Structure 1
Amino acid sequence: MTTESSKVDWSLADGQGYILDRDRSRSHIAACRLNLQHYLWKEALKFNIHPSILLPKNNTIADVATGTAMWPIDVARQFPDAQIHGFDNDIRQAPHRDWLPLNLSIRYWNIFEELPNDLVGKYDYVHVRLLVLVIQEGNPRSVLRKLWKMLKPGGFLQWDELDCVNMHVKKVDPSLQSPALDEIREMSWANGRHDWTIELPRFMTEEGFQDAKIEYFGDGPELSRAFNEQHLLTMEEFASSLIKIGKVEAGLKFHRLIEDGYQESTIGAALCIPRVVCVAKKPL
């Protein structure tokens, strides 16, 4: 029989919904992590909207699971003639509406609830990023169907995710020992819990999208340490959330590994979780 002590990995999040940021006394730290994450992704990808996507003038853009809204704020500057809407089930992390660009608004919507009627067929482009910790049982179909409904005919979907299949520990010297980061990598893989992300083009095609394609983005050496620290922040938030829901032993184990993993990073090791960008089109 599997016990908590013998099964300590990200599968402990199953059935918990979005498990991060459960400790509301530290929500500012969670917001800082999301902001850091945005700028690191932008530096790694070199774009917000994939260069293959050509949008009409005066287009409408949706950002689903917008978090702190840094992505749509960035895009609002790029496309001042666009109407941009950000959606999340917790909009408290986004700036006050008076501090947003004039062409951007933020609105409550939980992606696991029905799509409001006024959003059906409204958008030329829909963006979503990092639902890897939200999608249960490796099946993004129900989410894809709602994103499909948001798009106009001929509209584009862009889904950015982590590639947990090719997760690895990068080292300045192959002989360098990194037992803590190696264990964090194995625990994060969680027996393939997140492998569905690299199958997104197949899911998109099966749900009716056209021209679905995937592009892979790794960590350059100059960003490896920064991404490592951001991953450790995520792990720390996860560990604290485990303790909050009563999985104390598992949470404390994660905290110990994070401390040891950071020390390993100071001598030239880094946890690398590559990124994928999946783009597809709703048929005319």
Structure 2
Amino acid sequence: MPSEYYLGGSEWAATRLRLQHELTKCNLDGHLLDPGIPPVKQPMTVADVGCGTGVWALDVAETAPELIQAEALDINLDEVPPKAWLSKNVLCHEFDLMQELPEKLVERYDIINMQFASSFIRDSHIKEVMARLVDMLKPGGYLQITDVDYSRWSWVTATGDTKPPEVVKLYELVDQIFGGFHQWKWLVDIETTFMEAGLQSIHSRRVEAKPSTRQPNMMNWMLAMLEAGHALSNHPTMKQHADALLAQRMKAATEARALGVGMDCALTRGIGRKPSR
């Protein structure tokens, strides 16, 4: 099926996304910007592409308010706080990464962050997406991408069972409905993705989930599956898939509570630098 974003839009979606951000920040030891990116010591314009709630942009803006101008970009800004609540050094722009790049965004940013975009960026899109991101960077600017490594998902239970069957069935059903987790080779081999986009000083790392984040990771995923099920139910051709997803999600949620299921969802982070002129 086409790559579409089936999450968000509910009254509690922003809360789930905030939880996801805090869990990610915890597993990355608080590094909003990877240590491989030089510390911000002069005025910089930083973008969060596919910003969701805008929380990453809001957080990074607070780290150096006199130096960082943060800009949150997304196709839909409904989850972003009202303008009156934003810091003076945070701006929000509607932006569709899958469309032609507006001239005003060409070579605008010193640093670009993009995270959890694999839900709508597949292997078939990655070359054009990377080209746009690189075009948005100033010469010498840095691109940082962080996402879940779907090739390394696993589950642990408090009872010692290695594979909770209903949870695994839900994972497999999601794989079938949304086109297969094999379509994210660009993320699994992110260094090659960056190299083919013409970036330099490329670095990547895989980050395992800390034990303290396993159970909230699981709950966050279950909430995401509930969002996806409700969104699919409104899609004209996906009602049957929605019913199956929500039914299996209920079984998995019951099992997760009974067995104390936690999710080990490793993160992949890649950084690269656009060549200077």
TM over 0.5: yes
* Matching residue of 1:192: 182
- Which amino acid in structure 1 is aligned with residue 255 of structure 2? E
1:146, distance to aligned residue in structure 2 (A): 0.8
In structure 2, how many angstroms separate the alpha carbons of the residues matched to 1:121 and 1:260? 49
Query: How much is the aligned-residue C-alpha RMSD, in angstroms?
Result: 1.8
Name the SS of the counterpart of 1:154 in structure 2. Answer: strand
Residue 141 (str. 1) matches residue 127 (str. 2): yes
Residue 171 (str. 1) matches residue 154 (str. 2): no
In structure 1, how many angstroms separate the alpha carbons of the residues matched to 2:209 and 2:250? 22
Q: Give CA-to-partner distance per residue, 1:44-68, whole Å, 9 cap, x none.
A: 1121111111134111111111111
* Matching residue of 1:131: 117
In structure 1, how many angstroms separate the alpha carbons of the residues matched to 2:273 and 2:181? 32
Residue 241 (str. 1) matches residue 237 (str. 2): no
1:99, distance to aligned residue in structure 2 (A): 1.2
Residue 256 (str. 1) matches residue 239 (str. 2): no
The one of 197, 210, 214 equivalent to 2:204 is 214
Residue 93 (str. 1) matches residue 79 (str. 2): yes
1:220, distance to aligned residue in structure 2 (A): 1.8
In structure 2, how many angstroms separate the alpha carbons of the residues matched to 1:177 and 1:281? 40
1:196, distance to aligned residue in structure 2 (A): 3.0
Q: Give CA-to-partner distance per residue, 1:195-238, whole Å, 9 cap, x none.
A: 43112211110110012222111222211110000011111111
The one of 182, 199, 205 equivalent to 2:168 is 182
The one of 242, 263, 268 equivalent to 1:276 is 268
The one of 67, 70, 73 equivalent to 2:58 is 73
The within-5 A match list for 1:34-53 is 34-46=17-29, 47-53=31-37
Name the SS of the counterpart of 2:12 in structure 1. Answer: helix
In the alignment, is the contact (CA less than 8 A) between 2:27 and 2:207 conserved in 1?
yes
Q: Give CA-to-partner distance per residue, 1:162-199, whole Å, 9 cap, x none.
A: 10011112223443661111112333443513343112
In structure 2, how many angstroms separate the alpha carbons of the residues matched to 1:16 and 1:244? 16
The 4+ residue runs of structure 1 with deviation greater than 3 A are: 136-139, 172-177
Alignment size in residue pairs: 267
Shift in CA distance, 123/137, structure 1 to aligned 2, threshold 3 Å: closer
Which 5+ residue runs of structure 2 have no aligned equivalent?
none
Shift in CA distance, 247/254, structure 1 to aligned 2, threshold 3 Å: same
Shift in CA distance, 184/159, structure 1 to aligned 2, threshold 3 Å: same
Task: Give the TM-score taking structure 2 as reference length.
Answer: 0.90
In the alignment, is the contact (CA less than 8 A) between 1:121 and 1:149 conserved in 2?
yes
The one of 141, 165, 169 equivalent to 1:155 is 141
Percent identity at matched positions? 25
* Matching residue of 2:45: 60
Shift in CA distance, 171/147, structure 1 to aligned 2, threshold 3 Å: same
In the alignment, is the contact (CA less than 8 A) between 1:128 and 1:159 conserved in 2?
yes
Task: Give the TM-score taking structure 1 as reference length.
Answer: 0.88
Name the SS of the counterpart of 1:107 in structure 2. Answer: strand
Single out whichever of 250-259 and 197-206 deviates more from structure 2: 250-259
1:108, distance to aligned residue in structure 2 (A): 0.9
